[in-house]
Structure 1
């Protein structure tokens, strides 16, 4: 699907952000327009920062997971990267607020990731190589 699939994911991810604001996690979004911009910023940050974050966290990940042998540790590091991207986006976008600071970023990132994955798979938009997953 390429870039077209990625563009189709954009409003879906914005809707997911609005869904996350309905959960008691301390994530607040002013409106749908803010959610659209936030989805773009999270995607761009993920594309631009995934390699530097993996370089910075590479050694601690390798030691903690025994080079990837312990899968839950790998999941934990991916969650940490997603939470950092979520937090950074909230810092950059007016109207995207994390009321409980890092706790809202941690739990909001999990909810955003899980709901996004489920919804995008259900809509058949998962086979898009034009994302940060192609970099990893």
Structure 2
């Protein structure tokens, strides 16, 4: 299945996941399905455009704290930090998508959004690993 078609199939699913996240007591607020659709698109676009620049900015602290990649959990934490930054940036950019509790809502919302998206898209056969951002995340070392 082509990347464009896969992304188009994932998009409304990710919007529904964002609505589920907003229904949980995490401090994430989404006004409507339309806002969720826009937010899902912006999160994906930001992920595509900003993953490499964020990795470049975080390369030195990552290299020091992970001993050049020898400590794998540190790499995982930096990837989650990037996910949280993208989630928070999308909320900042989109009217109707809010993080009521600031950083706490960004962390909880991003973790639940990413986890639920992976599970639901996997169950539907719309593999998350085939998306451009996750390909960049998995094939480009942080340092």
Normalising TM by the smaller chain, what interval? over 0.9
Q: Residue by residue, what CA displacement relative to the aligned partner does 1:66-118 show, whole Å, maximum 9, x if unpaired? A: 12221211111011000000000001111001000111001100000100000
Q: Structure 1: give runs of 5+ residues left out of the alignment.
A: none
The 2-side partners of 1:66 and 1:22 are apart by 40
When the two structures are aligned, how many residues end up with a matched partner? 136
Report the TM-score when normalising by structure 1: 0.95
Detail structure 1 runs of 4+ shifted over 4 Å in the superposition.
Answer: none
TM-superposed deviation, 1:59: 1.1
The 2-side partners of 1:36 and 1:125 are apart by 17
Report the TM-score when normalising by structure 2: 0.91
Greater relative CO (CA pairs within 8 A, separation 6+): 1
The 1-side partners of 2:30 and 2:96 are apart by 6
Structure 2 residue 135 is the aligned partner of structure 1 residue 120: no
Q: What is the RMSD of the two structures over their aligned residues, measured on CA atoms?
A: 1.2
Partner of 1:73: 74
The 2-side partners of 1:52 and 1:10 are apart by 24
Q: Structure 2: give runs of 5+ residues left out of the alignment.
A: 138-143
